[in-house]
Chains A and B, each alone.
Chain A
Amino acid sequence: MQIHDDEQLEVYLKRFHPIAPEPVLRIGHSSRRSLPLLSSLAAVAAVLVAGAAILHVHSRVVVPNTARNVASAERHAPSEPLTMRSANAWLATAPSFKSAVDGLAFRPQSSPLPQGKQSAVAVLSKEKIRL
């Protein structure tokens, strides 16, 4: 029985011919073709992200153009802690005492820190005490 199997295997091996491999997929050529497509998709995505960001900012700060123009024409209140000198200078150059006082309270954030910078006071005020 064992001999019969060996013969069959021998016959099979004699008939065996390796099959020629199919041509290898040329990846380089394909990626070159898809590059413009990917670039287009990236550009569309960038436009969408920028649009969303603009819409987000607009929805948070809705200021009518007239109000914005008026506001930009106004003086910005001193942001540093006031002393008698700076307070008197602020009062003396204001059109009226009332406008000077109004300009000091409820100030919108006019001078955010530059990109890449953070508040030294905020950093120093972070306590590191562990109990």
Chain B
Amino acid sequence: MKIFNLIPSMILIALLSAGPALAQQHESLKENAALRYWSAFSQVQDSGITDQQAKELNAILDGTAPYDDSKYKDLIEKNILAFEIMARATALPACDWGLDYGLGHDVPVDYARKGLVLGRLNVLYAFHLLKTGNKDGAVRALAAGLRFSHDVGNGGSLFATLIAKDLLTSHLRAVADALRLEQLSAAQRSQLQTAVARVAEGLDWPAAAKRDLETFRGDYAGNPQASAALTRIVLSYTAALNDGSKLHALNQAVQGAPQELANVIPNAERVLEQKQDLNNTLLQTRALLQ
């Protein structure tokens, strides 16, 4: 009888203990910037451009062509809501793209391409704001863009990391341009300093490479020799991305692997070049901000 009397109390205790956990999960979903970024992607407005204009846009982002506001003002103004949603989302503490690596090679990574478009548009938006004399707005757009760029690479594969690197360097170049061409206030410089410091640790290249390489695991599940070779490559690859002097060991591991596996291993030298390029750009921008 006593046991029966205890049952309601036990249920109540169980519910009370599960409540905070559920609430915490609910809160973490609300605090996930990735969901807001998807919302921003949905608001991106397209505009028909020619091959020549596509080249010009890439040149502007590379810093090899000047930004002409009369040509891109309409495109930028059509996307202001997308920029605003993105900027507000960067204030959230976490960004989880919810990637299911159990899908192997079929993990969707199109979010990264959408991120590339929105991020590049955001750089043009910052140029547009500078041209129109809105320095506060430009600094806010650049600060948000830096955080967004970093978030694009969060938990992603090499592809997403490369896109995050491209966006980070574009934003850092735009920060350098703003510092060179405009007279920014102490508060504006400080805002940029904080934003650059937040992304200063760079991107997690070894983790991204590991995610990519592990997708091959399923392909060689029935081949112990290839599977062992893959394990060696994963270890050497991550070590080489942490320390470039270990590249030789990685090359040896790749050469010793079955040819079909060796053929699909991403070029680590190219990845290292990208990592180095980002580090250099970060250092240069930080020096400018001192």
Query: Measuring CB to CB, which residues of chain A are less than 8 angstroms from any residue of chain B?
Result: 61-64, 67-68, 70-71, 81-85, 87-88, 91-92, 96-98, 100-102, 104-109
0 or 1 for each of B36-66: is its CB under 8 Å from A? (1 = yes): 0000000000001111111101100000000
CA–CA, A28 to B42, complex, Å? 65
Residues of B within 8 A of A97 (CB): 162, 270-271, 273-274
Does A85 contact B162, Cβ atoms closer than 8 Å?
no
What residue in chain B is nearest A90 (Cβ atoms)?
A: B159
In the complex, which of the residues B48, B109, B120 contacts A82, with contact meaning CB atoms closer than 8 Å?
A: B109
B108 within 8 Å of A (CB atoms): yes
Query: Measuring CB to CB, which residues of chain B are less than 8 angstroms from any residue of chain A?
Result: 48-55, 57-58, 104-110, 112-113, 116-117, 120, 157-159, 162-163, 166, 212, 215, 264, 266-267, 270-271, 273-274
In the complex, which of the residues A87, A96, A101, A105 contacts B109, with contact meaning CB atoms closer than 8 Å?
A: A87
Does A82 contact B108, Cβ atoms closer than 8 Å?
yes
Does A104 contact B113, Cβ atoms closer than 8 Å?
yes
Does B166 contact A85, Cβ atoms closer than 8 Å?
no
Does A84 contact B105, Cβ atoms closer than 8 Å?
yes
Q: Can you list 24 residue pairs at the A/B interface with Cβ under 8 Å? A: A61-B50, A62-B52, A63-B50, A67-B55, A68-B51, A71-B51, A71-B55, A83-B109, A84-B107, A87-B112, A87-B157, A88-B105, A91-B162, A92-B266, A96-B270, A97-B162, A97-B271, A97-B273, A101-B166, A102-B58, A105-B57, A106-B117, A108-B50, A108-B51
In the complex, which of the residues A63, A83, A91, A104 contacts B51, with contact meaning CB atoms closer than 8 Å?
A: A63
Does A105 contact B48, Cβ atoms closer than 8 Å?
no
What residue in chain B is nearest A85 (Cβ atoms)?
A: B105
Q: Are A88 and B54 CB-contacts (below 8 A) given A108-B49, A109-B48?
A: no
Q: Are A101 and B163 CB-contacts (below 8 A) given A63-B50, A108-B48, A108-B51?
A: yes
In the complex, which of the residues B52, B215, B273 contacts A63, with contact meaning CB atoms closer than 8 Å?
A: B52
In the complex, which of the residues A83, A92, A100, A107 contacts B54, with contact meaning CB atoms closer than 8 Å?
A: A107
Q: Are A84 and B52 CB-contacts (below 8 A) given A91-B159, A106-B58?
A: no
Residues of A within 8 A of B270 (CB): 96-97
What residue in chain B is nearest A101 (Cβ atoms)?
A: B166
Q: Are A81 and B50 CB-contacts (below 8 A) given A67-B55, A105-B117, A106-B58?
A: no
Residues of A within 8 A of B54 (CB): 106-108
